[in-house]
């Protein structure tokens, strides 16, 4: 066991950890030492190959195939220098005021959150793509929504020099996506922060104020900043930003559940479906940015969002409900497929939670509630209407009575896509955004941290990622995570002089 001492230890390097690292990095000029401990690798540029299975193994926990305990939902989250910002599509939206009111966190002000969000819009080069960069898959969605009277908006995205490879979810091979691996972490390192990759944190010892971690040498990526081995890292302040599964798991392994009854609870994930419509002719779908439009038309009334998407062959195939000739025929027509990602806006429930098993590994208990199941079925019908309004010949809806719904039956969607068709084991449900588990709030009885990410009762311990969310973000959460992490950095900066060496 080797000993290290730093002033600030940050666990995780994604939207939360990367943001905190950069925001605190000016302190390095005054002699403050900051280390980021990231469990994943820092890939070399040539290792972003764009090959689906290869990149899934390199950039996602368990290759993107983490399952809930009952195996009903797949959870995908990043595992790399930059965390999940390496593998998302760059969509950047601020939190709605209506959502913040639902969160009801005293001390979390909407204007403050907006101001900090605007800061990261500018820092990450967030903008709307010009029309010539919008492919058919996105254009058809927007046009059909307008035809049907559904509200539709273009996503601001954080790309710079996008070449339209369509590989955002596999780590952009052209370096165009402005995640923390391209913006915040490099700047933090230039200011003096040390980023240790391939460094898995097991637990925090609250009595000794140390972090227990293991550094590995891997066959891919840059070598880690520290030699392989086990470490005991003593820090004046520790910031946990390992994501909505691993942050609560680290705190649970650290023995903090006794005083924090909400730890691990109120996990939400925007349960998601990939829906597919087939056209008679090829459309541009793989080339171009994959996610340019969204519709929140049904967010308040039916509890779901619709977003454009274009997934890769393996992910597409696993999302189909069936086997045999019909799925084979659909997969043989990839150049004619239009896709929509459906997101259910799930409620934060105490029974949906992260725990750790006997080996200390995180286990997620998540139940697809009846409201979520109903939302997803209604979203399938709305998506089918969009596909048919786009000119699609047929649609695959996983809850459908038949594998395909043909255009000639488009006036019978309520009957052909019934609620009872949503059967466990038949419909492949994934998750879009993992949130909660270390929720903000007023006290330890019902929350884990205060409105500034400070863990109740532990003045040197903070959380700075989506696990802070007390409820669903109800929209893509990347910018909100950064805005909250910016607040955490401000609180750490102010409190550090009070914390002992």
Chain-centre distance for alpha carbon 180: 13
pLDDT in tens, 4-58: 999 999 999 999 999 999 999 999 999 999 999 999 999 999 999 999 999 999 9
Q: Kindly state the DSSP code that residue 155 receives in the 8-state scheme.
A: P
- Going by C-alpha positions, the residue among 376, 266, 259, 397 that lies closest to residue 320 is 397
For residues 248 and 353, give the distance between their C-alpha atoms in angstroms, rounded to a whole number. 9
Q: How high is the pLDDT of residue 199?
A: 98
| Gap between the Cα atoms of 487 and 115, Å rounded | 11
Q: For the residues 134-153, what does the mean pLDDT come to?
A: 97
Question: What integer pLDDT is reported at residue 322 of this predicted model?
Answer: 86
Q: Confirm if 120 and 484 have CB atoms less than 8 A apart.
A: no
Q: Kindly tell me the number of DSSP H helices and DSSP E strands found in the chain.
A: 13, 19
Q: Which of 1-5, 160-164, 228-232, 445-449 has the lowest mean pLDDT?
A: 160-164
What integer is the mean pLDDT of 143-150?
98
Provide the token pair at 446: 């019902």
DSSP SS3 for 36: strand
What are the φ and ψ backbone dihedral angles of 450, each rounded to 5 degrees?
Answer: -85, -175
Q: Token pair for residue 51?
A: 């090959």
What is the rounded CA–CA span in Å between residue 287 and residue 297? 27
Each residue of 400-435: pLDDT tens digit? 999 999 999 999 999 999 999 998 778 999 999 999
Specify the pairing of strand 34-37 against strand 194-196: parallel
Residue with tokens 């899934």: 56
Q: What percent of the chain has pLDDT over 90?
A: 94
Dihedral, 249, 253, 255, 259 alpha carbons, nearest 10: 10
CA gap 427, 401 in Å, rounded: 12
- Mean pLDDT on 299-311: 96
Q: What per-residue confidence (pLDDT) applies to 107?
A: 94
**Nearest CA-CA partner of 18 in 77, 85, 76, 79:** 85
pTM: 0.96
Q: 394 has which bridge partners?
A: 278, 406
pLDDT of 195-230, one tens digit each?
999 999 999 999 999 999 999 999 999 999 999 999
Mean pLDDT, all residues of the chain = 95
Q: In this predicted structure, what is the pLDDT of residue 70?
A: 92
Residue 477 has pLDDT above 90, yes or no: yes
List of E strands, 140-265: 153-154, 194-196, 199-205, 210-215, 229-240
In this prediction, residues 345-349 reach a mean pLDDT of: 97
């Amino acid at each position: 066991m080797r000993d290290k001492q730093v002033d600030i230890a940050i666990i995780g390097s994604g939207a939360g950890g990367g943001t905190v690292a950069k925001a605190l990095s000016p302190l390095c000029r005054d002699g403050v030492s900051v280390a980021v401990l990231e469990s994943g690798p820092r890939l070399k540029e040539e290792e972003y190959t764009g090959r689906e299975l290869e990149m899934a193994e390199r950039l996602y926990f368990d290759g993107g195939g983490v399952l809930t305990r009952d195996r009903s939902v797949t959870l995908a989250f990043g595992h790399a220098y930059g965390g999940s910002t390496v593998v998302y599509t760059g969509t950047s939206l601020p939190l709605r005021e209506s959502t913040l009111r639902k969160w009801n966190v005293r001390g979390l002000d909407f204007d403050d959150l907006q101001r900090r969000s605007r800061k990261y819009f500018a820092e990450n080069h967030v903008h709307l793509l010009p029309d010539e960069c919008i492919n058919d898959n996105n254009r058809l969605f927007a046009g059909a929504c307008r035809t049907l009277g559904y509200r539709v908006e273009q996503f601001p995205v954080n790309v710079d020099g996008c070449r339209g490879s369509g590989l955002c979810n596999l780590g952009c091979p052209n370096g165009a996506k402005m995640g923390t691996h391209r913006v915040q972490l490099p700047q933090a390192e230039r200011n003096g922060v040390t980023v240790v990759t391939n460094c898995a944190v097991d637990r925090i010892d609250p009595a000794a104020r140390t972090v227990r971690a293991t550094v590995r040498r891997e066959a891919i990526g840059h070598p880690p900043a520290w030699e392989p081995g086990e470490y005991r890292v003593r820090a004046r302040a520790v910031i946990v930003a390992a994501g909505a599964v691993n942050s609560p798991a680290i705190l649970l392994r650290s023995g903090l559940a006794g005083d924090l009854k909400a730890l691990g609870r109120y996990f939400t994930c925007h349960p998601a479906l990939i829906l597919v419509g087939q056209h008679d002719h090829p459309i541009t779908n793989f080339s171009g940015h994959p996610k340019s439009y969204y519709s929140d038309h049904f967010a308040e009334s039916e509890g779901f969002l619709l977003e454009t998407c274009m997934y890769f062959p393996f992910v597409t195939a696993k999302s189909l409900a069936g086997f045999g000739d019909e799925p084979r025929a659909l997969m043989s027509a990839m150049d004619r497929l239009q896709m929509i990602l459906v997101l259910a806006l799930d409620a934060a429930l105490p029974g949906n939670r992260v725990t750790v098993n006997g080996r200390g590994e995180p286990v997620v208990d998540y139940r697809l509630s009846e409201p979520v199941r109903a939302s997803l079925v209604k979203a399938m019908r709305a998506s089918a209407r969009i596909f048919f309004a786009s000119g699609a010949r047929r649609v695959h809806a996983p809850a459908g009575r038949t594998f395909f719904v043909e255009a000639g039956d488009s006036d019978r969607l309520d009957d052909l896509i019934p609620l009872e068709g949503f059967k466990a084991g038949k419909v492949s449900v994934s998750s879009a955004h993992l949130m909660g588990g270390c929720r903000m709030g007023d006290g330890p009885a019902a929350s884990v941290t205060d409105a500034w990410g400070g863990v109740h009762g532990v003045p040197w311990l903070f959380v700075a990622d989506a696990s802070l969310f007390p409820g669903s973000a109800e929209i893509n959460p990347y910018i909100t995570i950064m805005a909250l992490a910016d607040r955490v950095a401000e609180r750490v900066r102010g409190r550090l002089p009070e914390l002992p060496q």
